[in-house]
Every structure is written in structure tokens, then in C-alpha cells.
Structure 1
Amino acid sequence: MPEAVLKGRVALVTGVGRRKGIGFAIAQQLAILGADVFIHSFSPYDASQAWGADPDGVPALIATLQEHGTRIAHAEGNFLDPVVPHQIMNTAVQIFGHIDILVVNHAYSTTGNLEELTAAEIDIHLQVNVQGTLLLVQAFAAQHQGRSGGRVILLTSGQHLNPMPSELAYIASKGALHQLTLSLSAHLIPRGITVNAINPGATDTGYATAELYESVRAANPQGRWGQPEDAARLIGWLVTDDAQWVTGQVINSTGGGV
């Protein structure tokens, strides 16, 4: 694709907190394609995980994205708070004037089998991953004025392809996004907004133990893990005009594996 194919368009990408993450790869791909990009992060979440926050912080992410010559802006926000999705969208619109592309990449995720589940953990997953997503899409649609190139991309997981019994609250929330895709598409396509979901498969973002890494690598037909750039390239195409005929789809980008 030509590098400037998204010139004049503005994207909002959530969950961009680490240069190793899928969110950063998506934001970078869209900037390479010429889009101005507003990135959202919630640094305390990354800092609380085993992989940790980006060692150089969000300023390093912004500086790297700015190397591609497009405008970059950023805000922090916890989607557990139901007012934050609209606040994030409003801030982005105030800075850029409009948003053409929404990529909902953020996710709250913990492990735990059936016996370990608590109501609080279930609620947090649903509030951040489902409620936060729906309110973001609502805010996006409200500010969209029929401009060409309206795009919503959701990220799901592999719960429809392979059992994930140790991540029940997480897959319940991701399964909801999977099932929402077609109905959101039907509602928004008359306004010129396509809606698709991506399952990026097992992606090397630094969370896997050595044992898990080797197990997944050996099981994949291509003999490797997915890289953040794999999902980013697919999303980069889906938000261009070349993909205007694709909507309501859940696409598995898994290298032939699950």
C-alpha cells in the first residue's frame, strides 16, 4: 500500500502502553500509512503485570510514532470508569477535529479457573472490555459525520477456536465482542462505518514463560509466534478504502494455528 493512503484521516487506538505491545504496532502502522493518531493508555495496569510498563514510559512511544511525520496525541484513562470512554473520545476530537478510525485494542486480563472466579473479577472484565468498548463505539458514532473511511476494529481472542478454561472471565468478555461485531456492523454500515474484529492469535508481547513460548511455537504450523506487526498489517489494510466492502467479519490472523 502507498505510505500516504490514510493521509487526512485520524485514528484513535486504545491500549497503547508498551512498544512491545499490539497496540503500539497498530498505532505505528497507521502512522506509517499517513494517519494522525491519538493513543490511549492506562500505565498502572501495565505496571501491575509481570511484563511491566514500557521502561522508557509513554514519552518514548510518542517520540517513536512522531518519527513517521504525522500528528500524535495521547491520554491516559481507566475504562473501568464509565465516563472515561466518552472523555477519551471527546479529548481526541478536541485535538484533531474528528476521528475516522477507532481501534479498540485495550483489554483487562487475568487468569483463573472456574473454582477461583469471583464476582468482582467477572465484573471488571466485563466493565473494561465490554462496557468500555461499547461506550467507545457509541462515542465514536456520535461524532462521526458521514466522512468517508469510517472504521471500527475490535480485538477478540481465540475462545471460539480453542478452549481456554483458565481464562474464563477474559474469554467471556472477548466472546461478547466477537458476538457484537455483526450487529454493530449492521447498525453502523448505513452511516458508512464498517465494523470488523480481529483475533490475532498467540502474539509475542513478552508475557509468555519460556515453557509456554516453546509449546506455542512448536504447535504453530509456521513454527513461530505471531508478532504484533502481523495484526497491525491486517488492521492497516482493513481501515483503508480497499477494504470498504468488508464488514461484520471476525478474522483469525493466527498463522494457520489456533
Structure 2
Amino acid sequence: MTSARRYSASPIKETPMEKNLVIVTGGARGIGRAIAEKLVQEGYAVAITYTSSSTRADEVVSRLQGEGGRIRAFQADVTNPAQIAKLFDDAISALGPLHGLVNNAGITGTQAPIADQTPEDLNKLIATNITGSLIAAGEAARRLSTEAGALGGVIINISSVAARLGGLSGLVAYATTKGAIETFTKGFANEVARNGIRVNAVAPGLTDTEMVPAEAAQAAEKYVPMGRMGEPSEIAEAVAFLLSDKASYITGTTLTVSGGR
């Protein structure tokens, strides 16, 4: 796989109807960036997060604002509850009422056999991919619940087909965290369904992003029935559907976007 990416952003072609805020964690690159771009095109106000360096997030925001989009970037470490609470406060203050959350922030962790992983490696992976998603989802649910006087909303967790396939070589720990995300999606959906909140997951297959190991392109040709990796924009389309009223009776479900893998 070459370093050049086939992915390119689609410009906003028309003025869509304005929709409420969606927070996309880790929205500065890869699938998260594609989701942010698609949602801005759909008319949503969008808040994206970055952990430390704002350079990429600022680039995304500057371009989309220049095309008429309502988008802002905020610093937030998903493993830090205080920072996540501040993120929601600041994003709502800047961009208006909350409609949903896309739990996209995640890491692959150290690519190595389980026997070679250190407790520090595993704890960082679990804290980011599992604990961070639960913290953000809880914060969103408190603010979306009809029991609290809100109008309800949508939470979408980004999983992976690795949750069911076990992951590529050296990424078993990563796959394990995504298995937890799919369990959480089902359980949390049941928990908050009567509060006007839908919770679903999107499980990408091999997708052409920086997180995917170099051997993924060759693996896709061999193991993906469609014979190729997915594009980030194809994952974003699934997320936009689940956020919309077209998915109003869908909750507790994982939508697989994997070319048949």
C-alpha cells in the first residue's frame, strides 16, 4: 500500500437544512474526518476532537467552514471524564443543542502477540477504546435523555469486523476492545431506549486509512469478497444513515460495512 491515499473530500454542493449538533471524537483524520465532512454536508453542526496537537483538526475546520459548514474543534482526551464533560459544555455552547455522539476516537495499540504486550500497552488500549467510549456515551446520554427534559438523540460507536474475526496478526488486543464495544452497544441501547436514545455501532472492514497496517491492501485483495479496501467516505455514509430519522426504529444493532468480509 502506498503512502498516498485515494480518499478525498467532497465539497459541499448545496445549502442543506440546518440540523443539531453531533460530536465526533477523533474527527481530525481517517474515518473520523470523513464522518465529520459527511455530517457537515448533511447540515449538522459538528464538533470534532483532538487529543494534543490541533494541526489536523484546524485544517479540517478551516476548510469546511470555508465551504459554509458549522464545525469547531475542541481538545479532549476521551479517557479524562472532566475533559469530556467540558467538551460537551463547550460544544453545545458554541454550536447549539445536541443531537448525537459518534464514538470514533481509538487506537490500534502495539502490534504484537499478546505474549509480548505489556500491562501498560494493554491498559492504554483499553482506556482509549473501551473506557473512553463509555465515558463519552454516558455524558451524551445524560444530556439527551427525555427523562432530563431533552428530546432524545443518537449514539453511534465505531467498532470493527475484527470484533468477530479476531483481528490481523498482532492486533488481537485491538480486536478484543472492539468486541467489548459491540457488547456495550447492545446493552446500552437496551438501557436507554425508553429515554429516547438510540445506540448503534458501525463495524468497518479493512479501510484505507493511516491506522491500517501496510499489508492490509494485499489482504483485502485476497480476503475481501469485493476485492478491495473500503473508503472512509463509505463508512461515513453508514454513520449518517444511523444518525438520521430514516433509522428511527433501529437500535442495539451493529451495521457491518466491510465489502462482504
Work out whether residues 145 and 151 of structure 2, in 8 Å CA contact, stay in contact via their aligned partners in 1.
no
What residue in structure 2 maps to residue 107 of structure 1? 106
1:37-186 equivalences in 2 (<5 Å): 37-43=46-52, 57-110=56-109, 111-144=111-144, 146=146, 147-148=150-151, 150-164=153-167, 166-186=170-190
Q: Give the Cα–Cα distance (whole angstroms) in 1 for the partners of residues 132 and 243 of structure 2.
A: 21
Q: Give the Cα–Cα distance (whole angstroms) in 2 for the partners of residues 25 and 75 of structure 1.
A: 17
2:206 maps to 1:202: yes
1:135 is paired with a residue of what secondary structure? helix
Instruction: Kindly provide the amino acid, as one letter, of the partner of residue 17 in structure 1.
Output: A
Same amino acid, percent of matched pairs: 28
Q: What are the ranges of 5 or more consecutive residues in structure 1 without an aligned counterpart?
A: 45-52
What residue in structure 2 maps to residue 254 of structure 1? 258
Work out whether residues 6 and 30 of structure 1, in 8 Å CA contact, stay in contact via their aligned partners in 2.
no
What residue in structure 2 maps to residue 50 of structure 1? none
What residue in structure 1 maps to residue 42 of structure 2? 33
What residue in structure 2 maps to residue 8 of structure 1? 19
Q: What are the ranges of 5 or more consecutive residues in structure 2 without an aligned counterpart?
A: 1-13
Q: Give the Cα–Cα distance (whole angstroms) in 1 for the partners of residues 188 and 16 of structure 2.
A: 26
CA shift, 1:125, in A, is 1.3
Q: Give the Cα–Cα distance (whole angstroms) in 1 for the partners of residues 236 and 152 of structure 2.
A: 18
Q: Give the Cα–Cα distance (whole angstroms) in 2 for the partners of residues 143 and 212 of structure 1.
A: 39
Work out whether residues 13 and 102 of structure 1, in 8 Å CA contact, stay in contact via their aligned partners in 2.
yes
Deviations 1:221-241 (A, max 9, x none): 222110001110011111111
Work out whether residues 149 and 239 of structure 1, in 8 Å CA contact, stay in contact via their aligned partners in 2.
no
RMSD: 2.3
Instruction: Kindly provide the amino acid, as one letter, of the partner of residue 27 in structure 1.
Output: A
Deviations 1:38-68 (A, max 9, x none): 1112255xxxxxxxx9xx6322110222244
Would the alpha carbon gap of residues 115 and 13 (structure 1) be closer, same or farther in structure 2, given more than 3 Å must change? Answer: same
1:78 is paired with a residue of what secondary structure? coil
Would the alpha carbon gap of residues 148 and 69 (structure 1) be closer, same or farther in structure 2, given more than 3 Å must change? Answer: farther
Deviations 1:119-140 (A, max 9, x none): 1111111111111111111111
